[in-house]
Amino acid sequence: MFRASRSLGTISKKNYRRKLARSVSTVVPEESDVVIVGGGPAGLALASALSSEPAIRNTLKVSLVEAGDLTKVRDWTPPPEQIGAWAHVEQGRTCPIEEMQVWDGLSDARITFSMQDDIAASLPGMGPQAQMATLTENLNLQRALLRHLDSTSAVELIDKVKVQSIAPEEREGGGWPLVHLSNGRVLRARLLVGADGFNSPVRAYANIESYGWSYDTTAVVATMFHHPRTSFQPPNTTAYQRFLPTGPIAFLPLSPTSSSLVWSTKPHLAKALVASDPAVLASMINSAFRLPEVSLRYLHGLLLDSASTGSPLRAEILHEEISWRERSHNIDPRSAYSLTADTTGVPPEDADALPPVVTSIQPGTIASFPLRFNHADEYIGDGAGARTVLVGDAAHTIHPLAGQGLNMGLGDVESLFHCIHKAILSGGDIGSRTALLPYTRERYFENHKIMAACDKLHKLYSSTAGPVVWARSVGVEVLNELDSVKSALMLNAGSRASRERLSRTQFGATFAADGVESLARSMSGVRTLTEGVANMVGAGVQRVLRGLADSQRR
């Protein structure tokens, strides 16, 4: 009897599946020129870019599918200009980055990137009022993009709907991708864009393999509150990053009284930090930028022991321990390195070397996520997976130590937008491999260079071996004296528009005019310095120095 009921249940399930298959097959696909899967920054930016160009807006039907509720993003409230979205950004939650200070947690070797440097300010388009970047929260950017899309009817936003499956159209010569949605609709896409993150269904459909690895590291993020800078100090426009053996910790300004935290550390420590009292987390953040590494290790052990015993570490006990360790390290109580220093009145002489003291954590902003390196073998599909293209995290996942993940995704969007625009103007097929090939040629190697550099930096600063610490410290100190090279690195990591304003002749001439010609004039000297610096700080500096030498030779 039990077996019979199971058999009947199996038969009924089979009948249901047959009926479902017949009902799905009878659904008439809705044609859409561009279907974007994913409503994150990359997907929304591409949709906004396409809707902002009249030649595309009047020609193509664009649909964006997002499984989450975009209303939550639209309603977000705080406690890129070319596509018209920046006008919708909450300006009070954006901050220009005019300086960056990075130092070694073991040796204290420090490098400072500043737009106020003479050579940086003299670059075309990089005057004294220029900035390295503008920082804002993801939600602020996404809300701005959504509000821009709401002002136009060129893009159909389909949220709270999942992609159930993607299948190729059965047609001789190869058909278009058919995107089956959880609401019963089927979209027939001339071009299917995967902006759907690391576990990309679009990448799986296109059968694009990827390679990479997981770091033994987890990122802890939060929004921090602190006192504003005094009138004796520059504004809160400096980003700080300290490389600890467990991973880098970054302090990124958002406003005069708030900043963003990105702390990459070991998974068990990240779990304890996220689960701790916000006041404890604030004290741990302050200590991570100020105390020597040996004391940080002890504080981390204290936090982990408390988490393992189930008795949370109290903020007052941690504060007493930090105070005792400051005294044991002979830290001047009037120094910015002391958490007991008076923050009112005239600031300490070394105040600009450290971020403001965190006073509290914004509720609901503490989160963590594992870090990994992942790069798709290619960005465009072929064969059965043709008419597909990947952007953002669907194509690449990077360590956040250089803050380039979002920039890389927006660079993908810009390049893909130009390919689609060019295909429309020339009467081409936007989903063809011919139309999409310039995108992958432009972006793949560019992204790979940044990913490889960040991966090597992560591995370099994870080592505590004496010779490695010495070599990287000397390299940083040498690089910090080469203002021209630092300016080149800032230019390369900054806005694309600034880079495009420089011709190769202007690039070489500008550096030569600011004192680098004496170095470039001696070819043997350049070669010696190039090889020495390359061994310590990587191939990026080597290429810059060789470029200077080549420009002098011409």
Tell me what pLDDT residue 501 has: 39
* Rg value, the chain, Cα: 26
Tell me what pLDDT residue 479 has.
Answer: 82
CB 106 within 8 A of CB 178: no
In whole angstroms, give the CA distance from residue 348 to residue 331: 13
- State how far the Cα of 45 lies from the Cα of 155, in Å rounded to an integer: 12
Strand 177-181 and strand 163-168: pairing? Answer: antiparallel
Please tell me the distance from the alpha carbon of residue 178 to that of residue 171, in angstroms, as a whole number: 12
Residue 241 has a CB neighbour count (10 Å cut-off) of: 20
**Both tokens of residue 370?**
């594992």
Question: Can you read off the two tokens belonging to residue 138?
Answer: 């993801």
- How many CA atoms does the CB half-sphere of 101 hold within 13 Å? 17
Taking each continuous run of H as one helix and of E as one strand, the counts in the chain are: 20, 18
SS (H, E, C) 108-124: CCEEEEECCCHHHHHCC
How far apart CA 511 and CA 505 sit, in angstroms, is 10
Asked whether the beta carbons of 140 and 93 are under 8 A apart, the reply is yes
At a CB cut-off of 8 Å and minimum separation 6, what does 174 contact? 168, 384, 386
Residue 507 pLDDT = 32
CB-hemisphere CA count at 13 Å for 465?
A: 7
Work out the angle between the directed axes of helices 315-328 and 293-309 (0-180°, nearest 10).
160
> Cα-flanking dihedrals φ and ψ of residue 185, to 5°?
-80, 155
The three-state secondary structure class of 471 is helix
pTM of the predicted model as reported, rounded to 2 decimal places? 0.76
What are the respective helix, strand and coil percentages of the chain, to the nearest 5? Answer: 50, 20, 30
Report pLDDT for 490: 67
Distance, in Å, from the CA atom of 524 to the CA atom of 526, rounded to the nearest integer, reads: 5
Amino acid identity for residue 413 in this structure = V
Residue identified by tokens 């009070």 is 92
In the chain, what is the straight-line distance between the N-terminal and C-terminal CA atoms, in Å? 91
Classify 63 as helix, strand or coil: strand
Handedness of CA 477, 481, 483, 488 (dihedral sign): negative
Spatial neighbors of 467 by CB under 8 A, at least 6 apart, are none
| DSSP alpha helix (H) spans, 33-182 | 41-52, 54-57, 70-74, 118-122, 138-150
Q: DSSP 3-state assignment of 64? A: strand
319 near 284, Cβ under 8 Å? no
User: Of 360, 218, 219, which is closest to residue 278 (Cα–Cα)?
Assistant: 360
Q: Is 196 helix (H, G, I), strand (E, B) or coil?
A: coil
List per-residue pLDDT tens for the chain, 554 residues long.
Answer: 334 333 334 334 445 344 444 444 567 889 999 999 998 889 999 999 999 888 888 889 999 999 888 877 776 665 543 445 545 555 556 677 888 899 999 998 998 888 766 444 555 545 545 667 777 777 778 888 888 888 888 899 998 999 999 999 887 667 899 999 999 999 999 999 999 999 999 999 999 999 999 898 999 999 999 988 887 788 888 999 999 999 999 999 988 888 999 999 999 999 999 999 999 999 999 999 999 999 999 999 999 999 988 888 999 999 999 999 999 999 988 888 888 766 666 777 888 889 999 999 999 899 999 999 999 999 999 988 899 999 999 999 988 877 788 889 999 999 999 999 999 999 999 999 999 999 999 999 999 988 998 888 888 888 888 888 898 888 888 888 877 777 776 666 554 444 443 333 333 323 323 333 333 333 333 333 333 333 333 344 344 334 434 443 44
Q: Where are the alpha helices (DSSP H) in 53-114?
A: 54-57, 70-74
Written as one string, the DSSP assignment of 313-326 is: PPHHHHHHHHHHHH
**Left, alpha or beta for 171 (phi > 0: left; psi -120 to 50: alpha)?**
beta
Tokens of 449: 């260079």
Amino acid identity, position 24: V
Which candidate, 142, 82, 148, 112, places its Cα nearest to that of 496?
82
